[in-house]
Chains A and B, each alone.
Chain A
Amino acid sequence: MADTTGGRERRSDFITVSGRPLERCYAPVRADAEEYCRELGNPGEYPYTRGIHPTMYRGRLWTMRQFAGFGTAEDSNARYRFLLQQGQTGLSVAFDFPTLLGYDSDHPRSEGEVGKLGVAVDTLADMEILFEGIPLDRVSTSMTINAPAAILWAMYIVVAEKQGVTRDRITGTIQNDILKEYMAQKTFVFPPRPSLRLVADTFAFGSREAPRWNTISISGYHIREAGATAAQELAFTLANGREYVQTGIAAGLDVDDFAPRLSFFFNSHVDFLEEIAKFRTARRIWAREMRERFRATNPRSCMLRFHTQTAGCSLTAQQPENNIVRTTLQALAAVLGGTQSLHTNSMDEALALPGEDAVRLALRTQQIIALESGVANTVDPLGGSYCLETLTRQLEQETQDYFDRIDRLGGVVPAIELGFFQREIADASYRYQRRVEAEELAVVGVNCHAAGPAPAINLLRVDPRTEFRQVERLQAVRRDRDGHAVERSLRHVREAARGSDNLMYPLLEAVGAYATLGEIMGVLREEFGEYREEAIF
């Protein structure tokens, strides 16, 4: 992620393609000084509407981070090395469904799902292979994992330490955002309250032992993918953010100890201007909430840092090349909105997992925006646009209205239990679909300009023997490990789960003993219970 560079910039000057020098940042010529400072502020100044750093991409470009993972650890390791070789600057790990839900690859429910939508990880052995030959002191890693986030993080820490990289030096992110799972993404396992306890344990552990790691990525991405509007994405994500801050405070942490490690993750959808406004609004609201509601004094606590992914749900199976153009616009919106890192979707993702050529093209899209387009050469180039500033104010108001409604329901968890978010999202998603079908919303290549030949795209097929190979390795690990050490460590996990000791320590012991993800999650399932969704339409 971009860092404050003390005002140092990538180059001594930034000049347009026609030879015109660009200032670092443009501000109104005759500004209403008071309003400008209150609503916008210069980049790097509260309330950070224009960006969290004074130099933004003139100092350091965003992290180009392509989400990837499929098959076995070997398959994904090869993809990561390929991406790093192509100029990617950070890793982002996608896990398969059994891993996301904490089942081993040989569990009956895992059949047919192993390695399909992400990489299968059962034990530390898989994690060792996954990062083989990748220097974890230099590469930052983001892991999209929620219910079992603490366990996968523990595996990562152990792998890093085996590489000789101590835990205080690792950089990266675990998604660990369980609240949005109940709202939208639905890969929950435990009920909300014990889940939040696990989150609090990772916060406490992180602030003590792994200060460079982002212990949460508060995600609007999936809320949007589930069909929410821009305002809903913004409001529900920031409401979750407030809930996590409260969770940390309730666990006895000082807000300025953990708030600087909170990071966010937004969607960049098709509506170019509205999306840029959304990112700017997010920063402004968060800064105000942190300072005014939570009394944070560290400026870093007030800076909303975020990763962006272009909208998967905007991709079409019809005329898939059009997706390149959509993704380009969405990526541009994210950059103009001041993102710290970015994933660009590949053109074939409405059809299958992305193939290598398509991923390279998606990465090249970011590189062209960064290095050729010039938009990275001045900070917040669209700041001050009448349209954009109005949209920003409107989104702020809509978010505030949602905050009020959520507060009236008693907060985020009661509102989840009442199905409030789920219903709002389901309604929005149905409205959207009806508008598309009524052709009130255009989807080029689908409901208009649909004529054209079907393209030939090389789809990635996950090797059908993946499941078999993965199960074989899992069983070998179970055979070769020290069974007593596993049992002992699982007992420690159970004791910590029943009590209030930080779970991270027994989890580190358990993964180190090669206890499987399913075994550890099994203990936690017994202790915490399982969450069942509400039927909400």
Chain B
Amino acid sequence: MELVSRLLAGDAAALARAITLVECDPPSPRDLLAAIYPYAGKARVVGITGPPGVGKSTLVDQLATAFRQTHAEVGVLAVDPSSPFTGGAILGDRVRMVRSSADPGIFIRSLATRGQLGGLSQATANAIRLMDAAGRGLILVETVGAGQAEVDIMNHAHTVLVVLAPGLGDDVQAIKAGILEIGHVFAVNKADRDGADRTSSELEAMLEMAPDRAAGGWRPPVVRTVARDGRGIPELVQKLDEHWDRRQPELGAWQRRQAAAELAELVGAMARSRLQDWAVKSGRWEEVLDAIVGRRLDPQRGAETLVSHYLNCRPGEDQGSKTGGRIGRRKDA
């Protein structure tokens, strides 16, 4: 594939087109992802998340520029929500990325969530992989820390930076349950504003109370930044680097865990879609559904029935066999 060779050579247009292709759900060219897979796995991925209005994009702009001193090519993935009403989106992160967008060594891509909750994480993982294979040695992934989907995305990062800012009311309390657990490094941005002390100390106190942290040996540091003028950025980069260094010994194990999680998810998704497909086409789905609705079968037993029938028949063993006739034959067999 010409696209693959151009991508592997680092060509921005090829990388951009490849991301478009894998962003669709499901990603259209499987062979594209297969072809680049051996070349990925080298990049360092930093996730940046936090509530709206804390200045994440400006901070990402500063970090991308700072990391360019140690990395020839930096990638930025900025994820924003799609409108639930129209499916459209306005992706405005570039507005804040004034320096990065003027630096050809920084590749910025805006992604919309497209309402695909589970799929978003997979699409982002694939986009990271493509950037990685295209030689972007450091990749920053920015999401609005709003829900599970964003937390899932952060699983793809080696280091997760959680950004907060003073003046967000009770948000620090509110996010405690959400994104606090996933942060390796914390930034209190807009630290020149009133309330920065309070936000920092509340955060420190909450981190203090998280017991599993101390056990792991890494105490998440809290760094104060003013992304607007760059204050605190060198310190923040240093903490991110420290965390990366600290991760090195267990990186192999982490990668294995990541791969296992992805494999499990893909297997689950694939199995479900095949099974459901078979059940619907074979008529079993409606049969079991009737039984459940008629209170003759409980949903748990219903599911078991379908799965064991499917496994006994083992239809669709090879791909592309999902023709009606074939399934019909197997059902009869």
Contacts and interface: CB of A to CB of B under 8 A. Distances in A.
A and B touch in the complex (CB under 8 A): yes
A532 interface: yes
A372 interface: no
A423 to B, nearest CB: 12
A29 interface: no
A211 to B, nearest CB: 37
A418 B53 contact: yes
A533 B97 CA distance: 11
Contacts of A535: 90, 92-93, 95-96
A534 B97 CA distance: 11
A386 interface: no
B66 to A, nearest CB: 17
A191 interface: yes
Contacts of B286: none
Interface in A485-537: 529, 532-537
Contacts of B98: 532
Contacts of A537: 90, 92
Nearest to A532: B98
B58 interface: yes
Contacts of B90: 535, 537
B95 A529 contact: no
A529 B228 CA distance: 9
A534 B53 CA distance: 10
Given A418-B53, A532-B98, A191 B93 contact: no
Contact of B96 (A191, A529, A532): A532
Nearest to A535: B92
A537 B53 CA distance: 14
Nearest to B57: A535
Interface string B56-93: 00100000000000000000000000000000001011
B290 interface: no
A535 B57 CA distance: 10
B241 interface: no
B95 A532 contact: yes
B17 to A, nearest CB: 25
Contact of B228 (A191, A418, A533): A191
Nearest to A529: B229
A533 B95 contact: yes
B8 to A, nearest CB: 33
A535 B93 CA distance: 7
Nearest to A410: B167
Contacts of B96: 532, 534-535
B58 A532 contact: yes
B192 to A, nearest CB: 10
A230 to B, nearest CB: 27
B65 to A, nearest CB: 14
Interface string A376-392: 00000000000000000
A536 B93 CA distance: 11
B244 to A, nearest CB: 29
B277 to A, nearest CB: 41
B189 to A, nearest CB: 13
Interface in B190-207: none
Interface string A89-122: 0000000000000000000000000000000000
A418 B58 CA distance: 14
Contacts of B53: 418
B52 to A, nearest CB: 11
A85 B93 CA distance: 51
Nearest to B96: A532
Interface in B261-319: none
A532 B59 CA distance: 13
B13 to A, nearest CB: 25
Interface in B20-61: 53, 58
Contacts of B228: 191, 529, 532
Interface in B95-109: 95-96, 98
Nearest to A537: B90
Interface in B213-229: 228-229
Interface in A175-224: 191
B100 to A, nearest CB: 12
A351 B256 CA distance: 64
A197 B10 CA distance: 47
Interface string B248-259: 000000000000
Nearest to B53: A418
A533 B57 CA distance: 12
A75 B221 CA distance: 61
Nearest to A419: B53
B313 to A, nearest CB: 53
A293 to B, nearest CB: 23
A524 to B, nearest CB: 14
Interface of A: 191, 418, 529, 532-537
Interface of B: 53, 58, 90, 92-93, 95-96, 98, 228-229
- 9 closest A-B pairs by beta carbon, nearest first, are A535-B92, A535-B95, A529-B229, A537-B90, A532-B98, A532-B96, A533-B95, A535-B96, A529-B228
19 contacts: A191-B228, A418-B53, A529-B228, A529-B229, A532-B58, A532-B95, A532-B96, A532-B98, A532-B228, A533-B95, A534-B95, A534-B96, A535-B90, A535-B92, A535-B93, A535-B95, A535-B96, A537-B90, A537-B92
Given A535-B90, A537-B90, 8 more contacts: A418-B53, A529-B228, A532-B98, A534-B95, A534-B96, A535-B95, A536-B92, A537-B92
